[in-house]
Amino acid sequence: MMNPEIYELHIALVENKPEIWRLFQVPASIPLRKLHKVIQRVMGWEDYHLYSFEKGGIVFGRPDPDFICDTVNDHGVSLYCLLKREGDQLTYTYDFGDNWQHQVTLQRILPDNPEMKHPLCLDGANACPPEDCGGHHGYSEYLEALLVPSHEQHEEYLAWRGPFDPAAFDLPAVNRALRRLKV
């Protein structure tokens, strides 16, 4: 069943100061697996790692046949099955090693507007941490090393990823990446 509504979602990386967040819109009928792709683009992740969604103690994602777990296959689950009212939330976790947890909140339910292309990012703040930087602790160490030229790992981190601006957020670039998605 198609749901002709648009969900305006706020996503924020949990336990990060300053807050790394985005405000974006998707069709309410988007499957979670495609929502994962949208989140990767709006946040700035590179999609190298596993992910999951959690709502009400139920975990949705790609079950791993090599492990016994209670993960529900997210392929056929649409967003509107989990978020029904404004203010409803779910948790998105990316990279189980670094354990980047994101709080996703349904801000507004809007009628579909055929003139608008979705997904669409509306706003955001601050750059997403680089992949494989070691979670919150590793990210803090990475930033400190980049900011202090005399830090013993300054040159190593600069060579690893190049210059990094933790306050950067490029809305037009995010929307260009979203337009390339097949949602």
pLDDT tens by residue, 61-87? 988 777 767 889 998 899 999 999 999
More confidently predicted of 9 and 182: 9
Question: What average pLDDT does range 148-159 have in this prediction?
Answer: 90
| Distance from the Cα of residue 179 to its chain's centroid | 16
Q: Of 21-25, 127-131, 154-158, which range is least confident? A: 154-158
Nearest partner of 133 among 53, 60, 39, 49, judged by Cα: 49
Extended beta strands in the chain, E state:
5-13, 21-27, 51-55, 58-61, 72-73, 89-94, 100-111, 120-125
pLDDT digits (tens, 9 = 90+) for 12-37: 999 888 899 999 999 999 999 999 99
Structural domains present in the chain:
5-127+165-179 (3.10.290.30)
Say if CB 46 and CB 57 are below 8 A apart: no
Split at pLDDT 50, 70, 90, the class of 127 is very high
pLDDT for 3 equals: 52
